[in-house]
Amino acid sequence: MGFYRDGNFIPWDDEIDIDIFSEDFAPHFHKIASDFVSLGFIVRTTFRGESSKMALFYKGLKTAIGGVYLDGAKPDFRQGVAYQWPVRFYENATRFEYKGKTFLLPGPMDEYLTFCYGKNWRTPLVSDDPEEYMSREGGQFKYPPPTGRVRAVLSRLKRLLTSST
């Protein structure tokens, strides 16, 4: 979203997220991880077939790569671990130029970003809580939102983990 909306990274986001088709990612997962390690990356992997993911760390930058897969029960959606997106966004990929490089982004981008973040996606929202910045209108969340009690526990846990003692 940052590339498209702001022409740059989102300053308060802690990572770059990349989705890759599971049918391309899973068969080569271990080779991809090995290649990144040989290039000097720190690589943390979670192999679980279609929903495999890896986190890459290099020079203070984190990149998260996750497999998105087709599910026979919901053939119109690509599934991730916690989210799902209509396949039409991937079938209509948009070429986007950033700093002389071409990237394929889900398209049409305005519709994809509205689906993910709601109609106000053009207005930056400084938050790292998906409950605040992701839209529930489009149906991309695969799970119901946490209850008030769960949210309170998660909030306390986050404060404990991020407080400097």
Q: Per-residue pLDDT tens for 124-140?
A: 777 766 666 666 665 55
Mean pLDDT of the chain: 83
Domain that holds residue 62: 2-162
Task: Output the six-digit token pair for 65.
Answer: 């790569």
- What is d(CA 101, CA 93) in angstroms, rounded to the nearest whole number? 16
Task: Output the six-digit token pair for 75.
Answer: 């053939």
Query: Rounded mean pLDDT of 150-165?
Result: 66
| Counted domains in the chain | 1
Confidence check: pLDDT of 114 > 80: yes
pLDDT reported for residue 123? 85
